Structures are given as C-alpha cells and as structure tokens.
Chains A and B, each alone.
Chain A
C-alpha cells in the first residue's frame, strides 16, 4: 500500500491517491460489516482449546489514515484461558488497546478495520469469530459476554444521565426480561455495593460530575460487571487514579473475578500492576507480540531484549541509582515499518542474523514463547543475567 517518502512528506497527489484507495478498501469492509440478518453459520467457529475464553489468532488490525496504512496490530496470536488474568504490556501505541477494541469491535470506524485473522470467543455452548461478525450481531455480545473498563474514568460516563440510569440501562438491555423496575434498581444498588460504594442509594441518584475519579472508575467497573460477562477487558483501569485508589481498584477486580469466575484481559504499561494481577503476560512491541508466557516466565526469565529493557527501566525500591535505565532510540514509524526485526535499531544484544526478516516465534519452554533470533537455535535465556533486577521485577 501507500509508502511514505523517507523525509516523511507526502505530495498532494500521493495523499489524494491514498485517501481514494483507503475509501475503496474501507467501503468494502464496512459494507460487509453493515449487512443485516447475516446467518449465524457464517461466523460460528470452534475453539482450538475449550479451556480458553478468547483466542486471538493472527489478528491484523489496520488503520487506513490519509498518510498511509498504520498496521496497529500485525499478526497477534494469544489466548485468554477461562478464569485467568492475562496481562498485556507494552509502550504507548504498541497496539494493546487496539487488540482489545478489535475484540469489542469498537475501533474508530471507518478508518480502523480488522483485515485478517480470527478472534474466537467462547460463549459456553458455542464459539463465534468476532472478526467476521457484522455490527448487528456484535451488539448482543457487548456488555453481555465481553465488557470493557476504560482508562479514562473522568470522561467515560455520560455527564447528563444519572449513575443509576446508566447502570439500569445495561441490566435492562441484557438481563431485563421479566424484571420490574424495582428489581433492576435492586440489582444496580447491589452492584454499587459490590464495587465498594458505601452510599449506594445516594450515588444511584447522582450525576457523574458529583463523584471523584476513583468513584467513577468503580461505577465503570460495576457497569462492566453488571451482566456477569465471561471476559472483562480492563484497559489501563488504574492509570488515571492515585496509588491508594489503584490498590483498592486492583483488589476489587481480583475479588470480583473470583466471584463471577470470568477471564480478565488486563492492559497496562505498569509492570508492578501486572506482576500483582496477571497469570499470563503478553509483551507487545510495535503491533506484534515479542514475548509471551506465564508471569513467572516473563518476570524471572525475560528473554526478549525489549522485555529485559523494560524490566531494567523500572525503579526498584531500596536500590539507589543515579539515572534510571531507559531503552535507547524510538519506535519505528508505524506507516513504514522495517522488514527486519522492529526492535533491531534499539537493541543492545543484536546478533548477526538480526538483519534478516522478522524473526518467527520460538518456544523456549512449553509456556514461554519469544520472537528473537538469539533463541532460534534452541538456547535458553541467559541464566547469568543480573539476578537483583529480576527479583525487583516481582517484589513490587
């Protein structure tokens, strides 16, 4: 598709050609999504492993912008097992949120489109491929089977409706059958109490602006949990909150997960939070997964140079350093990705092979996978690495 010149300038002619092409591509995709009364068989699928709640399989989500196609998510595959928490980490713009928005089909339309791959969602008695579903059908999954907690509690609630009404709406929509107004209200109050809001009757009648950020985030969590979803996506739920509230919200999420036995996909760039919450960790870089494994694999035996750099750039309590480590360089231009390893230009551990095409995934243990040439000949992560650092990675 559209290529940007090295200097980053686009001529008017080029830009027009790109927008025209984009419109063509997105129109076809949009039309497919907007169809009505699509037979279910078209998007019914089978889970590869019934113990998984979600399976992302070679997911490609692109944004067709006027400056060229941005491959936000470029071949991402991972699983979210039932009842487990999967942490997704990576720096800003690496495609964490876009992956989760693809699952909800909440991408900015029409620019953002899932162009390839499967997102298999386990609904219990059957499984569907969200990537192939039309908008109409996805609506019934949102809030019901998959729900999402957004990163901005201050702006995620509609300012002109009362908290109670906003919560009632979800319950009425998915669980409302045969329930009277009083029943719905009772459930809403119950939810508010469950997320630790003391004055639930009062908050029920309040508007969002009358609540603090932490309280609003609790309301958002209550909203996400209202219909006991199978999968909860928590997109940086604690980023906008101060540390004490963060701890409370994390505790809350963990307890609630056990209570309703759902899976959580936890997106953050806070490694401390991940260490505390996640069973499995997926590390993303520039739209691709560079390393995935159990929390132990990632924190005790980080293999990919990027993960190692991340661990090193985290402050450690009790350790005095003059200057905190930071990974040198910057992420490549998303419109014009190199054809070798995306991390090569910033990597301090390059080997000769790194100049070749993007490395494929290598298993270094049954649970631990990494995309790096350093492990392509079957060696295990260097055991002689700074042990102090690794301890610090889990202590927080």
Chain B
C-alpha cells in the first residue's frame, strides 16, 4: 500500500507538470491581456508615450516578452519555490487575496457537501428499498426536479420567496447593514444568516444526482445474490439493508465523495455572483477575465493539485471499504 501511494504521488507530479503547462499556454493565448488593457489606459493620458511603446515596456516588465515555454519554466521555478507572485488585477500578493476569499467559499462548499450526503444517502436508500412505491416516486421526482433546475433560476426563486415576499433573509451580500455594530456572536449569526440561501441553492441543485446515484447502486446491491443469502440466514430486513447492503453501496459512493474534494475549494461562480458573495469562484472569474496570470495560474494549479489528491484519496478509501481492491 505504501509503495502504491508513493508511486501514485510520483505519477501525480508528472501529471501536474503537464496540466500546468497546458493551463499556462492557454492563458497566454487568451485574448484578454492585462498588459494591453493597461497600455491602452496609460497611452490615453495627456503627454503619454504611444500605445506600442507602453505595450513593449509593460511586456518587458511583466515578463510577457519571453516565449511561452520560457515563461512557463520561469513560473514553474517560482511556483516550486513557493513564490506565487502578486496579483495583477488586485495588486496584492496572490496568497493574501486567496486567503481573503477562500474562507467563505470553503464554508459554503463544506456545509452543502455535508448536507448533500446527509440528505441524499438516506433518501436514496429509502427510495431503493421501497422501489416503485409512492415514497420512491416522490423522492425520484424531487431528485429530478433538483437536477433539472438551473442554479440562476432556482436562486432567483428562493430570493423571491424568502427575501422579497417573506423578508426572512437579505437578497445578497455576506453581511447586513449594521454588521459593524454587532458583537462577535452577532457578527457570526449575521454571516450565517446571509449564507442560508446560497447554501440551500448549492445543496438542492446538486443533491439530486447523488440521491439517484445512491438509489441505483442500492437497487443493484439489493438484487445481488449475497443479499438473498443474508435473508436466508434469517436476518431482519433492517440488518440486511443497513449492514449487508449498505456497506456494498458505499463502495461507489466513496469515489464520488473523494472526487468532490476540489469542489470544496473551487467555489461556486454562479451562486456567488448571484448572491454577491466575495468567494473564490467569483474572484477567480474576475482575475481570468482581466488576464491576471499569477492569480489564475495559482488558482488553477491549486485545483489541479486538489483533483489529483482527491483521486488518490478516493482510491485509498476504495481500498478501505472494498477488501477486493486492497493491495498487498
């Protein structure tokens, strides 16, 4: 197992190298160039140098006069040494900006993931055990509704009902109007209140697919021969389902949950934008449209690392729940 993990990590580093190379190339080829926008602005000032001179000067100072490959290896050298540089768009160190915005996205992602698991798995199991009953139809139909609803539409509906009509929550923002006057507890509650609708949106929109996945897997397991054996032993129905069948249903679920690790940090661009929450999704979008290479590179490589780590973790978890894939 240890050797396997080491081998996987070495492979991951290789993959990471190529992934970052591709990302860097793509970003350099984007039509959105920070330098060109800057040069345009600077050259319109009275008595300024012409646009071409500004472009040449800025390109030299930002290191964009180099070919893509050279630029990539320079970035890689810095990245490997932990120098992530300054964000061009936000004019602060990348790390500082990242730390500012990741918190709220992570909290949103983590809470909605936990809610998803807590809601989807039991409901999926219930739907499977009562296949073709009214309960099953109700659960499956609501799962389908959840999957089909686009985020922007559902978020707007929630806002209309709970903010405009009922007035329970604010329509947008992370803090209320009188946030500054509140004590620590009040501040916490105020933020929590502002996160209710975004988290509800995230959860409901993504809970459906996990629920259907659980249902399908559970159905498959319930029709397996070993479930009949378990029943033939005289075990109670509850024991058959929650002990014998559930352990087997967990196997495919683990891959899904392991794969959702990067989702915790990637933020939710649409939801964050709709609710005007300054999270990582919204920030990275801004950085990318402005051609902010250091921030975009940091964010995307970070996600690549997390995706690889997520895969590794789900493989390890796989071995934990399924003895058949345990490697000696």
Contact of A159 among B228, B231, B234, B248 (CB under 8 A): B248
Measured in the bound complex, the distance between the Cα atoms of B228 and A106 in whole Å is: 7
Instruction: Contacts A135-B237, A139-B236 given; indicate if A156 touches B231 (C-beta within 8 A).
Output: no
B233 contacts A by Cβ under 8 Å: yes
Measured in the bound complex, the distance between the Cα atoms of B157 and A132 in whole Å is: 53
Determine how close the nearest CB of chain A comes to the CB of B252; give it in whole angstroms: 13
- Is A155's CB under 8 angstroms from B225's CB? yes
- Is A223's CB under 8 angstroms from B233's CB? yes
- Is B235's CB under 8 angstroms from A157's CB? no
B321 contacts A by Cβ under 8 Å: yes
Measured in the bound complex, the distance between the Cα atoms of B236 and A174 in whole Å is: 12
Tell me which residues across on chain B come within 8 A of A142, comparing CB atoms. 231-234
Instruction: Contacts A159-B322, A160-B323 given; indicate if A147 touches B232 (C-beta within 8 A).
Output: yes
Determine how close the nearest CB of chain A comes to the CB of B127; give it in whole angstroms: 16
- Is B248's CB under 8 angstroms from A158's CB? yes
Instruction: Contacts A104-B232, A106-B231, A106-B232 given; indicate if A209 touches B226 (C-beta within 8 A).
Output: no
Tell me which residues across on chain A come within 8 A of B322, comparing CB atoms. 159-160
- Is A150's CB under 8 angstroms from B229's CB? yes
Measured in the bound complex, the distance between the Cα atoms of B322 and A152 in whole Å is: 21
Contact of B228 among A135, A150, A209, A224 (CB under 8 A): A150
Which B214-252 residues sit within 8 Å CB-CB of chain A?
Answer: 224-226, 228-237, 244, 247-248, 251
Measured in the bound complex, the distance between the Cα atoms of B122 and A249 in whole Å is: 42
A173 contacts B by Cβ under 8 Å: yes
B45 contacts A by Cβ under 8 Å: no
Contact of A209 among B230, B231, B233, B323 (CB under 8 A): B323
Interface size bracket, B side: 20 to 34
- Is A141's CB under 8 angstroms from B234's CB? yes
- Is A156's CB under 8 angstroms from B234's CB? no
Residue of B nearest to A146 (CB): B232
B324 contacts A by Cβ under 8 Å: yes
Question: Which of B225, B228, B232, B237 has most A Cβ within 10 Å?
Answer: B232
Residue of A nearest to B248 (CB): A160
- Is B232's CB under 8 angstroms from A148's CB? yes
Measured in the bound complex, the distance between the Cα atoms of B322 and A207 in whole Å is: 10
Which A132-164 residues sit within 8 Å CB-CB of chain B?
Answer: 135, 139-144, 147-148, 150, 152, 155-161
Tell me which residues across on chain B come within 8 A of A144, comparing CB atoms. 234
Q: When each residue 138-175 of chain B gets 1 if its CB lies under 8 Å from chain A and 0 otherwise, what string results?
A: 00000000000000000000000000000000000000
- Is A156's CB under 8 angstroms from B237's CB? no
A169 contacts B by Cβ under 8 Å: yes
Which A94-111 residues sit within 8 Å CB-CB of chain B?
Answer: 104, 106
Tell me which residues across on chain A come within 8 A of B251, comparing CB atoms. 160
Residue of A nearest to B326 (CB): A207
Residues of A within 8 A of B (CB): 104, 106, 135, 139-144, 147-148, 150, 152, 155-161, 169-170, 173-174, 207, 209, 220, 223-224
CB-based closest 4 A-B pairs: A143-B234, A142-B234, A155-B225, A158-B226
List 4 extra interface pairs beyond A150-B228, A158-B226, A158-B229, CB under 8 A: A139-B234, A142-B232, A161-B247, A209-B324
Can you offer 26 A-B residue contacts whose CB atoms are under 8 A?
A: A104-B232, A142-B231, A142-B234, A143-B233, A144-B234, A147-B232, A150-B229, A150-B232, A155-B225, A155-B226, A156-B226, A158-B244, A158-B248, A159-B226, A159-B248, A159-B323, A159-B324, A160-B248, A160-B251, A160-B322, A161-B244, A169-B235, A170-B234, A207-B324, A209-B323, A209-B324
